[in-house]
Structure 1
């Protein structure tokens, strides 16, 4: 199972929920798709009845979720999706979530940190790299990310001078 995002709040009085997807995962969701929520150690399937964009979030309705008790159970839950249901990618392509936890090193083999996530800013994808409880934002583009190995979770970068020091201000 992969985590697509999190249910962050309820929306209105019709059993709708506010869902915040992790970057790049919203393309996997559509009405009729099956998602899962975790209750203790069990995975509970839900059919996505509706899925509407609202700003950076989505308003979703899960089939069968109508009572206050069911809605409250959903709040704060991560939305899970079976990895085997992901569309197949071409050779050399990968999903961003596959890089979470990858080690990032410079071409000189200096460890920069570990990938914690991705987000969009001004039309560019930024990679969030953490080390020693600090975050470094690195543009996720071919000019900087020279080598991406999703299987071995290793990314080699060639950052422009000063990029890694920007977060020290």
Structure 2
């Protein structure tokens, strides 16, 4: 399994017991959705390694307490500290209508109501206060805020995102 085929679920943040249990800080709004997992991929030495889950339970709000198979001591758990946890993209629930996962719109065309075809979505930058579409227009990068008021419609079939950006926003880059 490659990282491109997976989504980031969280990070192992601490040990929980002397029997090898760990706490995973989940990067999700719905931690209860991940209670019945049979396995996860652990980013161990830059390889995604499958780990099978003996048992898991929610701990406080967004922490998942996990007992992995064959992780039976504090020493075993030490080895996994601060590693990232991934799941295959196929396990993400399908979104309907104008909801989308960032990874799924890479390669979509951005079509602005007044400007016309803007370019192709190369990435989504979510490290800023406002997530941004990074759009390539013939080698020029255009950043468009992922604001609900700007996004009109997502056409998954045609791979087009229809937007209505404020006047002059796209022209700033050209």
TM-score range for the pair, normalised by the shorter chain length: 0.5 to 0.7
Scaled by the length of structure 1, what TM-score is found? 0.60
Q: Larger radius of gyration, structure 1 or 2?
A: 2
Equivalents in 2 of 1:28, 1:152: separation in Å?
Answer: 34
TM value normalised by structure 2: 0.58
1:147 aligns with 2:159: no
* Paired residue secondary structure (2:117): coil
Q: How many residues are treated as equivalent by the alignment? A: 154
RMSD: 4.1
Change (3 A) 1:147 1:136: same
Is it true that 1:62 corresponds to 2:82 in the alignment? Answer: no
Structure 2 counterpart of 1:11: 14
Of 32, 45, 49, 2:52 maps to 45
Cα shift at 1:135? 8.3
Question: Per-residue deviation at 1:161?
Answer: 2.4
Stretch deviating more after TM superposition (107-116 or 32-41): 32-41
SS in 2 for 1:161: coil
**Distance in 1, Cα, partners of 2:33 & 2:52:** 14
Q: Please report how far the alpha carbon of residue 53 of structure 1 lies from its aligned counterpart in structure 2 after TM superposition.
A: 5.5
Structure 1: gaps of 5 or more residues: none
Q: Which runs of 5+ in 2 are unaligned?
A: none
70-79 vs 102-111, which moves further: 70-79
What is the distance in 1 between the residues matched to 2:48 and 2:65? Answer: 23
